[in-house]
């Protein structure tokens, strides 16, 4: 485990990343900390440091997804999208780290860069790609969207609202890739049964993660625990379990029942 940090090299590479900056030019970074209490700033520094890391880890997930889609001979436009999403996630990591800097700097966070993505376990390239996609897109990205909207509603900072809106614009597509992939992939009943188990355990681990990372205070992009549970449970059943079931992937009931955000 080493301390999480980000580096950018600049030059033409920074200009490539800058192409994604549409909508963020007018953010007044200095305004973020100005009206907040010191307690809230401390909480938010932690929130945005973790968020920069989770964006970085999402980039790793899409890099894996892209290479597994290549091996599975997936449609080329889908592969290109997955590769492009790595760039989106690096841009989100950049935005989140700018928020952390505006709040006084990132907090120390120990991470393992060599274990960013758990390797898929299914047999064959298609099922392995499906496993990664169910975890990251159908569950992870899909559940992130309503949680980000909840954090935006209580942000109390115009700059943070803009940052979250910019991130949300991409995350909705990142989720969507999952459903398009499942509609394309020719999966067997056994594959779908395997994916149901994968989805169920991923939903449970997201419940634990969000439950651990929600905060007692609200504002500056923190996810208030008080508002998290109802949003989470609703998103699990309507946005994840139901569309998976439509595609023959029936999440085990025990993974959903008893979910109470932790
Ligand atoms: Fe992201
Ligand atoms: Fe994403």
HEC per residue, 130-188: HHHHHHHHHHHHHHHHHHHHHHHHCCCCHHHHHHHHHHHHHHHHHHHHHHHHHHHCCCC
Query: Would the pLDDT of 229 be above 90?
Result: no
State pLDDT tens for residues 57-89.
999 999 999 999 999 999 999 999 999 999 999
Tens digits of per-residue pLDDT, 30-56?
A: 999 887 889 999 999 999 999 999 999
Measured CA to CA, the distance from residue 185 to residue 182 in angstroms comes to: 5
Q: What is the mean pLDDT of residues 158-172?
A: 94
Confidence at residue 262, expressed as pLDDT on a 0 to 100 scale: 44
Q: Identify the helix (H) or strand (E) that includes residue 70.
A: helix 38-71
Q: What is the mean pLDDT of the chain?
A: 93
Asked if residue 20 belongs to a domain, the reply is: no
Specify the number of domains making up the chain.
Answer: 1
Residue 179: how many other CB atoms lie within 10 Å = 17
Report pLDDT for 133.
98
Residue 64 CA to ligand 1 center (angstroms) comes to: 15
- pLDDT value at residue 63: 98
Instruction: Point out the ligand nearest to the CA of residue 140.
Output: 2
pLDDT at 214: 85
CATH of the domain at 246: 1.20.1260.10
- List the single range of 92-101, 119-128, 239-248, 251-260 with lowest mean pLDDT: 251-260
Structural domain boundaries, residue 109: 30-256
The verdict on residue 167 lying in a domain is yes
Rounded distance from Cα 243 to ligand 2 centre (Å): 19
Does 4 score more than 90 pLDDT? yes
99 Cα–ligand 2 center, Å: 18
- Residue 44 confidence (pLDDT): 93
Q: Compute, in angstroms, the gap from residue 189 CA to the centroid of ligand 1.
A: 32
Give distance in angstroms: CA of 219 to centre of ligand 2.
22
pLDDT at position 192 over 60 = yes
Give the pLDDT of residue 223: 85
Going by pLDDT thresholds of 50, 70 and 90, the confidence category of residue 261 is very low
Tell me if 233 is assigned to some domain: yes
- Say what the pLDDT of residue 260 is: 63
* Longest Cα–Cα distance in the chain: 56
Report yes or no on 194 lying in a domain: yes
* Residue 23 lies inside a defined structural domain of this protein: no
Whether 53 is covered by a domain: the verdict is: yes
For position 258, what pLDDT does the model report? 72
3-state secondary structure of 189: helix
Please determine, for residue 236, whether its predicted confidence score (pLDDT) is greater than 50.
Answer: yes
Residue 77 lies in a domain: yes
11, part of any domain? no
**Per residue in 134-144, pLDDT tens?**
999 999 999 99
């Amino acid at each position: 485990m080493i301390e999480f940090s980000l580096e950018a090299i600049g030059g033409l590479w920074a200009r490539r990343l800058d192409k994604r900056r549409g909508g963020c030019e007018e953010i007044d970074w200095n305004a973020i900390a100005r009206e907040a209490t010191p307690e809230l700033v401390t909480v938010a520094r932690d929130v945005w440091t973790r968020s920069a890391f989770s964006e970085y880890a999402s980039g790793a997930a899409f890099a894996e997804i892209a290479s597994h889609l290549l091996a599975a001979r997936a449609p080329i436009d889908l592969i290109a999208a997955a590769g492009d999403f790595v760039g989106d996630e690096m841009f989100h990591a950049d935005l989140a780290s700018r928020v952390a800097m505006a709040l006084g700097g990132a907090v120390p966070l120990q991470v393992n860069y060599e274990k960013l993505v758990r390797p898929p376990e299914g047999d064959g390239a298609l099922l392995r790609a499906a496993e990664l996609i169910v975890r990251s897109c159908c569950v992870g990205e899909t559940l992130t969207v309503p949680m980000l909207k909840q954090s935006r509603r209580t942000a109390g900072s115009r700059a943070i609202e803009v940052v979250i809106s910019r991130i949300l614009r991409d995350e909705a597509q990142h989720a969507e890739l999952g459903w398009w992939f499942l509609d394309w992939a020719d999966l067997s009943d056994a594959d779908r049964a395997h994916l149901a188990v994968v989805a169920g355990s991923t939903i449970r681990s997201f419940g634990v993660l969000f439950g651990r990372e929600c905060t007692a205070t609200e504002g500056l992009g923190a996810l208030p625990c008080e508002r998290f549970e109802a949003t989470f449970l609703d998103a699990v059943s309507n946005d994840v379990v139901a569309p998976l079931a439509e595609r023959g992937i029936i999440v085990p009931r025990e993974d959903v029942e008893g979910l109470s955000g932790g």
